[in-house]
């Protein structure tokens, strides 16, 4: 029989990956039930943008707080993950009771974002603590689970169409709680590397003075500008081809799920491609591909609906495929003595840029519809320009 330590070692990677999937189902839980929720509460696309922004803002503040105060090093990653999952599950469920009070609903989504800062970043730390030799490939898997977790609320809505919108929200809370309990049982591993005693804003910002790190960081910033706004827009983008095919609105969550979830294959496939191509090349290809669809999609809305769905699927596949590569490249080019601070600053700035992108596209959707995707185009263009002279 295996001892507890050996059993944990054997199960660590699949359990962490599964827990990441379950925990990140909280991220877009509201988006997954948006159509019935907005119809019941008379909400607009601007309201959707505001609630999505609340999560993003909470995540940014939570990530910076954990990284720059040293709290992430003061407590075990498994403890932070468990606590964040429990609180995140609770505030996500409480949204049901306060949805008609806009300020409290917004606050609860903000708190959900804070909790996600203790789930998503802690996943990689847990991997390093248990199986450091698999850290590189696990990064692609963890981001794949983030993508699948983002899509999960749409799947849950599709499965529960005969039930009220509250049911998928409760299910996502239960899934997050289960993910936290799994990590709590697993605990932190024995291989956690020593970290600096203090992370400072100055040391993180200093990394941006390095040309290669700065080039990767700006590429990542462009990626972030596009990514979360696209995920937020996905249920809206499927409406036009759906109408053209005379399909019922009940198909929206299923289509949104597949378009977002296919990005998990993009993450894994991008990781496999790095065995033949440099990670920098993979990142450029993905950013160029998704940026091209940003440009072309509004010009192609008169094409047959099946072509539009194929384009959206390809967009979903490529829009996240570069993310693991950006993280790996940034860690490679960051100052070795301040890798943690450099990555924290890069992530904080990147996620901050999702705020104006989401705000602009959600507020202008009712006026310009699919043409708002052109507002996402500067992200890929600036990202590719910044990396034009970079070599791995």
User: For 97-119, what is each residue's pLDDT tens digit?
Assistant: 999 999 999 999 999 999 998 89
Burial per residue of 83-101, b for 16 or more beta-carbon CB atoms within 10 angstroms, e otherwise: bbbbbbbbbbbbbbeebee
Burial class (CB in 10 A: 0-12, 13-18, 19+), 113: buried
- CA 373 to CA 224: how far, in whole Å? 14
- Does 65 score more than 50 pLDDT? yes
- CA 311 to CA 314: how far, in whole Å? 5
Q: Tokens 């409480």, residue?
A: 94
- Does 163 score more than 80 pLDDT? yes
Per-residue pLDDT, 379 = 95
Per-residue pLDDT, 121 = 79
Per-residue pLDDT, 197 = 46
Which range among 61-70, 152-161, 179-188 has the greatest average pLDDT? 179-188
| Averaged pLDDT, 147-163 | 86
- CA 84 to CA 136: how far, in whole Å? 25
Per-residue pLDDT, 160 = 81
37: tokens are: 């929720």
19: tokens are: 């827990």
| Averaged pLDDT, 309-320 | 95
- Does 390 score more than 90 pLDDT? no
What tens digit of pLDDT does each residue of 208-225 get? 888 999 999 999 999 999
- CA 144 to CA 261: how far, in whole Å? 8
Per-residue pLDDT, 134 = 62
Per-residue pLDDT, 132 = 66
Instruction: Give me the percent of the chain exceeding a pLDDT of 70.
Output: 90
What tens digit of pLDDT does each residue of 89-99 get? 999 999 999 99
Per-residue pLDDT, 135 = 60
- Residue 266, CA atoms < 13 Å, CB-side half-sphere: 30
| Averaged pLDDT, 47-68 | 88
What is the DSSP secondary-structure string of 230-298?
HHHHHHHHTHHHHHHTT--GGGHHHHHHHHHHHHHHHHHHHHHHTTTS-HHHHHHHHHHHHHHHHHHGG
Per-residue pLDDT, 112 = 97
Confidence of residue 194 (pLDDT cuts 50, 70, 90): very low
- Does 198 score more than 70 pLDDT? no
More confident residue, 185 or 201: 185
pTM: 0.84
More confident residue, 314 or 338: 314
- Does 191 score more than 70 pLDDT? no
- CA 380 to CA 382: how far, in whole Å? 6
- Does 146 score more than 80 pLDDT? yes
Per-residue pLDDT, 199 = 52
Q: What is the mean pLDDT of the chain?
A: 87
Per-residue pLDDT, 298 = 93
| Averaged pLDDT, 183-206 | 67
| Averaged pLDDT, 56-78 | 82
Contacting residues for 200 by C-beta, under 8 A, at least 6 apart: 68, 341
Rg (CA), the chain: 20
Per-residue pLDDT, 247 = 86
- Does 84 score more than 90 pLDDT? yes
């Amino acid at each position: 029989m295996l001892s507890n330590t050996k059993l944990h070692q054997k199960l660590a990677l699949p359990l962490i990956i599964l827990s990441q999937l379950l925990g990140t189902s909280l991220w877009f839980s509201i988006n997954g039930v948006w159509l019935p929720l907005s119809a019941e509460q008379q909400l607009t696309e601007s309201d959707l943008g505001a609630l999505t922004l609340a999560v993003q803002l909470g995540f940014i503040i939570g990530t910076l707080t954990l990284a720059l105060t040293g709290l992430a090093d003061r407590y075990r990653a498994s403890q932070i993950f468990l606590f964040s999952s429990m609180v995140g599950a609770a505030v996500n469920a409480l949204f049901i009771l306060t949805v008609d009070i806009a300020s409290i609903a917004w606050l609860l989504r903000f708190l959900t974002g804070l909790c996600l800062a203790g789930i998503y970043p802690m996943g990689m730390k847990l991997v390093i603590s248990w199986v450091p030799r698999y850290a590189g490939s696990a990064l692609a898997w963890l981001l794949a689970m983030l993508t699948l977790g983002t899509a999960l609320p749409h799947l849950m809505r599709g499965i529960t169409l005969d039930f009220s919108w509250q049911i998928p929200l409760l299910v996502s809370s239960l899934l997050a709680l289960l993910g936290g309990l799994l990590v709590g049982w697993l605990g932190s591993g024995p291989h956690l590397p020593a970290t600096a005693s203090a992370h400072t804003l100055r040391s993180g910002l200093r990394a941006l003075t390095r040309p290669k790190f700065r080039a990767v960081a700006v590429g990542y910033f462009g990626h972030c500008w596009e990514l979360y706004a696209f995920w937020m827009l996905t249920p809206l983008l499927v409406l036009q081809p759906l109408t053209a095919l005379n399909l019922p609105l009940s198909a929206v969550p299923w289509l949104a799920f597949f378009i977002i979830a296919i990005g998990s294959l993009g993450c894994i496939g991008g990781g496999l491609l790095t065995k033949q191509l440099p990670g920098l090349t993979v990142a450029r290809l993905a950013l160029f591909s998704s940026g091209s669809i940003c440009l072309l999609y509004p010009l192609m809305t008169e094409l047959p609906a099946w072509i539009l769905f194929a384009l959206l699927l390809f967009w979903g596949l490529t829009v996240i495929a570069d993310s693991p590569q950006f993280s790996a490249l940034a860690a490679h080019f960051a100052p070795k003595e301040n890798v943690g601070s450099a990555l924290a600053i890069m992530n904080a700035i990147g996620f901050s840029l999702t705020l104006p992108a989401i705000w602009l596209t959600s507020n202008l959707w009712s006026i310009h519809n699919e043409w708002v995707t052109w507002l996402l185009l500067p992200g890929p263009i600036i990202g590719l320009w910044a990396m034009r002279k970079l070599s791995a």
